[in-house]
A = this chain, B = another copy of it.
Amino acid sequence: MSSAPAVAVVDAQTPGNVGTIARAMKNFGFSELLLVDPPELDREGEAYGYAGQAREDILPNATEIEFDDLVSEYHTVGLTATTNKNATKHVRYPFSTPDELAEELQVVDAPTCLVFGREDNGLKNEELARLDEVCAIPASEDYPVLNLGQAATITLYEFRELALSSTQLPDVERDRASEAEIERLYSQFDELLAGIGHPDEKRAKSGRMFRRLIGRAHPTDRETVTLLGIFRRAAEELTQDVD
């Protein structure tokens, strides 16, 4: 895997959007922010106000760069909401979606940069024509134009595996109860059925119902043990009542 892509913003008009992008970068493990013709980024203004903890590092370390240097130094990916309809024009066609492109770039070992355009009009045709790849976020036909900060947030989220080796989330999959434990739960459920005097001819069917329900839920160890204990206790008490 190559290092995390850089993020460039071309000719942003509002500092707040630069701050929003910086925050998303920090949330998803990116660090290199490049600005082409940026607005003034005042430490007391919206860029720093919207950046969250990125105000400490990403935003103050952002680098101004010329568009020409961006093109010559990086493998560039231009983001756009507006694609060409077919292959008769090459400026905005073909394109990839962010998830497709993120997967593709996993095996690309090159300094790569995601390039975002202006709030109102995005990247100009003459800019996009000079970039190496085009990327578009699938959205509603009725209203496909995302706000700049929101578009960048989604793109960086999709590219997170190029920048993060792990996330804040614990590994739920590994916490699934063992098959043996879940089988004990099914047995215990059957004893509960016996305990309530469930008709013999229906016990197998109800057991299958329970197996399907629990099977879909992939219970954790804790859930399985807790439920097992409750069923055991119930079955015991029901059997005592009968005595």
CB–CB B139/A28 < 8 A: yes
In this assembly, does A72 line the interface, its C-beta being within 8 Å of a C-beta of chain B?
Answer: no
Q: Which chain B residue has the least Cβ–Cβ distance from A147?
A: B23
Task: Decide if A125 is an interface residue (CB 8 Å cutoff).
Answer: no
Chain B CB within 8 A of A215 CB: no
Alpha-carbon separation in the docked complex, A87 to B170 (Å): 10
Contact with B along A158-190 (1 / 0, CB 8 A): 001000101111101001000000000000000
A24 contacts which chain B residues (CB < 8 A)? Answer: 146, 150
Q: Determine whether the beta carbon of B154 is less than 8 Å from that of A140.
A: no
Q: Are B222 and A143 in contact (CB under 8 A)?
A: no
Q: How far is A87 from B175 in the complex, measured between Cα atoms in Å?
A: 8
Q: Quick one: closest B residue to A220, CB to CB?
A: B87
Minimum distance in angstroms from A151 CB to a CB of chain B: 9
Tell me, in angstroms, the Cα distance from A149 to B164 when the chains sit together: 22
Interface of A toward B, CB cutoff 8 Å:
20, 23-24, 26-29, 50, 52-54, 81, 83-88, 93-95, 97, 136-147, 149-150, 153-154, 157, 160, 164, 166-170, 172, 175, 220-223
Besides the contacts A86-B175, A86-B222, what 8 more A-B pairs have beta carbons closer than 8 Å? A26-B143, A81-B168, A84-B170, A87-B222, A93-B170, A93-B220, A138-B164, A144-B167
Closest 7 A-B residue pairs measured CB to CB? A87-B222, A144-B168, A138-B167, A87-B220, A150-B153, A27-B139, A94-B172
Pairs A–B under 8 Å by Cβ, sample size 8: A27-B146, A28-B140, A53-B143, A86-B222, A94-B172, A139-B164, A146-B153, A149-B150
